[in-house]
Amino acid sequence: MTHRLAGGLLIALGLGYTFLYLPILLLIVFSFNESRLVTVWTGFSTKWYGELLRNERILDAAWLSLIVAACSATLAVAIGTLAGVALARYGRFRLRWLFAGLLAAPLIMPEVITGLSLLLMFVSMDQVVGWPASRGFGTIVVAHATLSTAFVAVIVQARLAGFDRAVEEAAADLGARPATVFWRITLPLIAPALVAGWLLAFTLSLDDVVIASFVAGPGTTTLPLVIFSSVRLGLSPQVNALAAIIVLVVSVLAAVAAWANRGRFA
């Protein structure tokens, strides 16, 4: 089998990547534009970066988003791991279909429905049991964890399915109690899945605007909510600068991850 791609395929690949990356690259280029009119080039400047870094509203929102993302990702990994273990290891437990269905619901449900239903639940809970008295940090964390749990569970389940179950049996056979098997064998073996799941959950939370719009209170504005409201009003050179920073950070992280994983692809 030859690995030389036909010309047509190369062109398709080239055009595809151009389509995916050109808008982002242009966005970054114009973040260095002096003019407020984003798309009219008047000269090189880094002033929008300066303005961005002095914009308290954006900085506060970014900080809040990072904390929400970290908390919800951690929660999602904890619950998603248990759910993934249940699906991969407990066979046909009672009501498995309902368990799997509820777990997968946020994967296929439009975000507006997930957001709406969580908000209506929080409102009703507040009426009935007095919690949550106000919506904000806690409700966003719960909502994002609910969204991400399904993704974590899928990743963990796939990882568990990929390794020899006899390894866990061998540990039990050598005298390890069920909890020891879980901590000493299962968890270390699915650790890469937990890391991947956490990062995915973190990104989903950091990226979400729809669900946060529903469940955030008036005082808690995450970064996507700030971007969304300013973009709705029109173009803003600060958003360009922010985009450039995000792309830079993500690229560096991706490069680091690729470097850390080098040689691990069998």
Span 162-201, contacts to other proteins by CB under 8 A: 163-164, 166-180, 182, 184-185, 188-189
User: Per CB under 8 A, which of residues 3..22 are in contact with other proteins?
Assistant: 3, 5, 8-10, 12-13, 16-17, 19-21
User: Per CB under 8 A, which of residues 66..85 are in contact with other proteins?
Assistant: 79, 82-83, 85
Question: Hey, CA dihedral for 107, 111, 116, 119, is it positive or negative?
Answer: positive
User: Per CB under 8 A, which of residues 116..135 are in contact with other proteins?
Assistant: 116-118, 120-121, 123-124, 127
- Is there binding between residue 35 and other proteins (CB under 8 A)? no
Asked if residue 84 lies in contact with residue 155, where contact means CB atoms within 8 angstroms, the answer is: yes
- Using CB under 8 A, which of 67, 112, 195, 256 touches other proteins? 112
Asked if residue 68 lies in contact with residue 143, where contact means CB atoms within 8 angstroms, the answer is: no
- Using CB under 8 A, which of 58, 69, 141, 242 touches other proteins? 242
- Using CB under 8 A, which of 45, 55, 210, 217 touches other proteins? 210
- Using CB under 8 A, which of 52, 73, 146, 156 touches other proteins? 146
Q: For residues 20 and 44, which CB has a smaller minimum distance to other proteins in the complex?
A: 20
- Is there binding between residue 111 and other proteins (CB under 8 A)? yes
Q: For residues 43 and 110, which CB has a smaller minimum distance to other proteins in the complex?
A: 110
Query: Which ranges of the chain does DSSP label H, i.e. alpha helix?
Result: 7-30, 47-54, 56-89, 96-108, 111-129, 137-162, 166-173, 178-180, 187-207, 210-215, 223-233, 237-260
Max CA distance (Å), the chain:
73
Q: Copy the structure tokens of residue 12.
A: 């398709």
Question: Is residue 192 reached through a cis peptide bond, with omega within 30 degrees of 0 on the bond before it?
Answer: no
d(CA 224, CA 208): 7
Asked if residue 115 lies in contact with residue 213, where contact means CB atoms within 8 angstroms, the answer is: yes
Number of residues that bind other proteins (CB under 8 A): 103
Query: Segment contacting other proteins (CB under 8 A): 50-58, 66-74, 86-94, 130-138?
Result: 86-94
